[in-house]
Structure 1
Amino acid sequence: MVRILVIGLVLVVSSNATAELIPTPDFTSHAIPTTEVPPGDGAGWEYVDVAALAIALGLASYFALVTRSRKHLFALSFASLVWFGFVRQGCVCSIGATQNVSLALFDPAYVIPITVVVFFLLPLLFTLFFGRTFCAAVCPLGAIQEFVSIKNVQIPRWVDHSLGLLAWIYLGAAVIFSATGTAFLICRYDPFVGFFRLGGNANMMIAGGVLLLIGVFIGRPYCRFLCPYGAVLSVFSRFSRFHVRIPPTQCITCGLCSEACPYGAIEAPVAPALPSEASRGRSRLGWILLASPLIVAVFAATGSMMRVPLSQMDLDVQLAQQLRMETLGLATTTTDASDAFRNARRDERVLFESVLVKQQQFGRLGLLLGAWIGVVISVKLVSLAIRRPHADYRADTKNCVSCGRCFWYCPVGDAPAGKNVANEQPEPSQLVQIT
């Protein structure tokens, strides 16, 4: 009994000594920090952007079609560049909204904001009535290129037509990748958003700088040859109810408007074809129509074989490739994604099986993209094979962005007598107007 008491006394003393040597910390007065989330812009700013877009589109249409004022269009372009570009940092953007709409159409779980839908549809609606006035003075990507367009060089028509196909190809790729939730190509490879946000991906900022340098000599290279939204607007503009036109009764066929247009949107007169030329033209058109299904089939087959390179845009495919390289010792360093995958103890076999399924899916998507490219090329060949004779200069409604440069150079009506209108910039005339 005495031994038990002694042992208990020793344990009590030991515990007290330990408690004194390692005291229990007191956290009663410690304030647990809370996670702070930076406040967003709020829905109010989105509606301000929509209102600004509607007002800018209305002003651009008025300046282009009613007052025919290049000066006012230029000022509106500056305001749009400041607000939609540098203040709102290029987002939300009508060009990028194409991807959101595509994803919403193919993924029922994706909820698209109503303001994004408005940004996508409103310029299309204005274009259907008034032509591409969105491109004239509202789009910040067009505005930043307009300001550097100083020494315009006319490029050969075949180069213009060939490079113009890239915008349609880009549109098809952007729709496919966004519809599957793989990537938003337009936003990822936006060449000017880095300037708007005063920082970003170095490679894209270099690409944007190169495009601006090219834009000094060739008018709006991104808008003409790469912009997928501009490709859609060009179709709508062909059916526009009102558009900048050249009345044939007043045109003196001096050609100054064609020389002033940096976008090749003024078509020179085309004489009717001779009987021999018309016969060759019909034969050429017939061969193109016969070859069109073969062109589509060849490009579709080629696209289906591109499933592996196309799947490289998927994040899971990139992760699987990185893990395989690390396992084989071909990767010198790991990535954050591969480290997170291994730390989570996920099964690599499950990942590799899902990647195989995705590559098969991209095979089907590649087939669709290839078929789309074949259709685009076939339509372009058919359009080039059709001869449309006209006796006067006229605006090409699909390519004209209503920038107003031709207003300054038209000599009819307002050119002072005795002055060389080729070297002067007369006031806006009555020649280029709406009909």
Structure 2
Amino acid sequence: MAAKTQRRERADVVSTTEGQRHGVLFNFLTSVSLCLRGKENHRVFASLRSSILMLMCLVVPSFGEFRFPMPEFSTGYEHPAVHTPEPSNAMVGWDVAVLIGALALASFLVLKRRKRNEILLLTLFSMVYFGFIRNGCVCSVGSVQNIIAGMVDSTYGVPLTVLVFFAAPLVFALFFGRVFCASVCPLGAIQEAVAFKPVKVPPAVEKVLSVFPFIYLGLTALSVVMGAGFIICQYDPFVGFFRMGASFGMLVFGGLMLVLGIFVARPYCRFLCPYGVLLNWCSKLSRRHAVITPTDCITCHLCADSCPYNAINEPTPAAEPEARSTGARRLGLLILLVPVLVAVGVGVGSLLKEPLSRMHPNVQLAERVAGEELGRYEGTNIESEAFRGSDQPIDDLYAEALELKEGFGIGGMWLGAFIGLVIGCKLISISILRKREGYEPDRGTCYSCGRCFKYCPVKE
């Protein structure tokens, strides 16, 4: 009777939670229908955002389902194998179709329609579909890891769907700018939904923090090459909300990121996202890109005030701020500085062999076992106990850890060289003065979100 009562109570909790989710989704769809019928006002969009936030808050009941491990038996009982069904080809094809359709629609809305509210509606759709319905996977951001794995390991097969999710946003960025970031990426969409009062980050601070996505990209490549795992997926701050369950630490991290996103627009996109590095490069070469005004700019500065990303470049003054010879000398010195920065990066990277190697679980295990042997730890943990129950000699584990550390030492030097090159190129880019007659979006950092469309007083 007690077991039946517990099951009944559990069913009541699940049904209540499902009812709450259905109610939130009903409110969301109602708000969308009002927008589509022309009722585009702040209350409607506030209702949309509130529905999304309520949906994210409902992860707590489902998170509790995974707290307790499976029971252990001493009678020789073995747990039956759990088989996870593969996604159907129809669903995979549908995901690809929705991705391509969303990218095409985003390009049309950004370049032709130029309506911020319509772009925001597509953003919310992408968050619901690619985020909550498809649980944030397949993810274009995480696909970077699969592509790197396929490049370094000939036995690793990259699924066609993953390849499309990796390549399609980059192809669209080459032609139309970062329309994927504008309203298709679920990670960017969930941050856009909470950006109620974004403030500007000082440009100098923005330039310094913009190096971190390159560091994250380098660490991602190093982790994949060394077999340490897919760290983008391990530390995705929003997948816990999309999948209605994650570790407590990751839920806290994601919650803090969303709270920060209220005041600092898209902190993950701007200061962490490794895929954004590739989109930035492609968007700089874009054939067409979002423009602030459809005609001549009247330099009213309203667009620059409305952009929370510091992604709008101001017009250059009529009088040149310095002589050309001065700028040429500075550029020459910075070019000569690049090899020095690369060499410094190599040296610093070689010193990070120990901390970088701890990215690999086998190195962590070897250090744990060694600590237990030396009496630094009391008792064992799950990993070390499982190792001691295996047939692998401790010396083999230590030898493998030493080999991995040497590999991470070489990888750390490559990582340092890459970061040194990035810093040098950024200094050169800052030093070059480009002539502009009006306010123009920075093709690399502009997310094509459409905020400037709304504030520009010049209409077609």
The TM-score, its normalising length taken from structure 1, stands at: 0.84
Matched residue, 1:162: 208
Q: What are the residue-to-residue correspondences of 1:7-406 with 2, within 5 Å? A: 35=81, 37-246=83-292, 250-271=296-317, 274=320, 276-406=322-452
Shift of 1:280: 3.2
- More divergent stretch after superposition (210-219 vs 163-172): 210-219
Which amino acid in 2 is paired with 1:204? Answer: M
Aligned-pair Cα RMSD in Å? 1.8
Give the letter for the 2:356 counterpart: L
Measure how far apart 1:170 and its partner are. Answer: 0.8
Shift in CA distance, 63/348, structure 1 to aligned 2, threshold 3 Å: same
- Which deviates the most, 97-106 or 197-206? 197-206
2:292–2:456: 8 Å Cα contact kept in structure 1? no
Amino acid at match of 2:257: L
The answer to whether the Cα contact below 8 Å between 2:292 and 2:453 also exists between their aligned partners in 1 is no
SS for the counterpart of 1:303 is: helix
Unaligned runs of 5+ in 1: 1-31, 413-428, 431-435
Specify the SS of the correspondent of 2:227.
coil
Q: Name the structure 2 match of 1:20.
A: none
Q: Deviations along 1:197-233, whole A, 9 cap, x unmatched?
A: 1221222222222222222122211111111111110
Match of 1:9 in 2: none
Structure of greater Rg: 1
- Distance, in Å, in 1 between the alignment partners of 2:391 and 2:272 is 43
Q: Decide which moves more: 133-142 or 193-202.
A: 193-202
Which has the larger helix fraction?
2
Contact 1:261 1:406 in 2 (8 A): yes
User: Residues of 2 paired with 1:389 and 1:33: CA distance?
Assistant: 69
Q: Distance in 2 between matches of 1:138 and 1:100?
A: 20
Which whole-Å CA distance do the structure 2 matches of 1:340 and 1:43 have between them? 38
The one-letter code matched in structure 2 to 1:133 is V
CA distance in structure 2 between the partners assigned to 1:306 and 1:34 by the alignment: 43
Alpha-carbon distance, 1:389 to partner: 2.3
The whole-number CA distance in structure 1 between the counterparts of 2:116 and 2:301 is 19
CA distance in 2, matches of 1:238, 1:274: 25
* More displaced stretch, 365-374 vs 152-161: 152-161
Q: Distance in 1 between matches of 2:201 and 2:80?
A: 60
Once the two structures are superposed, residues 78-136 of structure 1 have per-residue CA deviations (whole angstroms, 9 ceiling, x without a partner) of 11101111111111100000000001100111111111011100100111111100000
CA contact (8 A) 1:106 1:180 kept: no
For these two proteins, the number of residue pairs brought into alignment is 383
Distance in 2 (CA, whole Å) between partners of 1:186 and 1:178 is 10
Runs of 4+ in 1 over 3 A off after TM superposition: 32-36, 246-249, 272-280
Does structure 2 retain, via aligned residues, the 8 Å contact 1:99–1:174? yes
- Tell me which amino acid in the other structure corresponds to 2:158: I
Amino acid at match of 2:354: V
Letter in 2 for 1:151: K
1:103·1:181 contact (CA, 8 Å) conserved in 2? no
Shift of 1:257: 0.9
Residue 34 of structure 1 deviates from its aligned partner by: 6.9
Q: Give the equivalent residue in structure 2 for 1:11.
A: none
Query: Could you list the per-position Cα deviations for residues 221-257 of structure 1 after superposition, in whole angstroms to 9, with x for gaps in the alignment?
Result: 1111111111110110011111112458521111111
Q: Take 1:343 and 1:255, find their aligned partners in 2: how far apart are those partners?
A: 68
1:158-213 CA distance string (max 9 Å, x none): 11111111111111111121133212111111111111112212222222222222
Q: Aligned AA for 2:372?
A: E
Q: Which moved more, 1:91-100 or 1:66-75?
A: 66-75
1: CA distance, partners of 2:390 / 2:261: 49
The whole-number CA distance in structure 1 between the counterparts of 2:375 and 2:321 is 70
CA contact (8 A) 1:103 1:180 kept: no
Deviations 1:127-148 (A, max 9, x none): 1111100000000010011111
- Conserved 8 A contact 2:351-2:409: yes
More displaced stretch, 179-188 vs 104-113: 179-188
User: Where in structure 2 are there 5+ consecutive unaligned residues?
Assistant: 1-77
Structure 1 stretch displaced more, 53-62 or 278-287: 278-287
Q: Is the 8 A contact 2:150 2:157 kept in 1?
A: yes
Counterpart contact for 1:154–1:218, Cα < 8 Å: yes
